[in-house]
Structure 1
Amino acid sequence: MAQRTQVTVTDDLDGAEGAKTYRFAWQDARYEIDLSDEHRDDFLRALQPYIDASRRVGRGSRASGGPGR
């Protein structure tokens, strides 16, 4: 007999279905959160000024162009 399992990912903030999992890190801790498109956009808008002012490190990073930065 065949079995079929269906997983429904729900938004961690409001329980809406159809969310996707997003990973982020802060202060040496890694996190995952399941967000709908709307909440993902809110999250990115809140972080964008900090992302723009920061530099990437680790995999996929590029040289920053000079000493101290």
Structure 2
Amino acid sequence: MDGKRRAIDNVFTERFWRSLKYEEVYLKSYRDGQEAYQQLEWYIHWYNEQRTHSALGGLTPKAVFES
């Protein structure tokens, strides 16, 4: 990062955290930390390997970065 609190410096990571919160965390209530961990692990796997992204031409991050 170039400076403190500059989200533009790390726009891809900031976008991922926004998606994680709005598509998973804010929509669910977890019984405990273990359930939260399991659901977040599932979401991250889904986000990278199954969810298509318009900014990546309709591909998944895994498809883009493995080729």
Q: TM-score w.r.t. structure 1 length? A: 0.31
**Of the two, which has the highest radius of gyration?**
1
Q: TM-score w.r.t. structure 2 length? A: 0.31
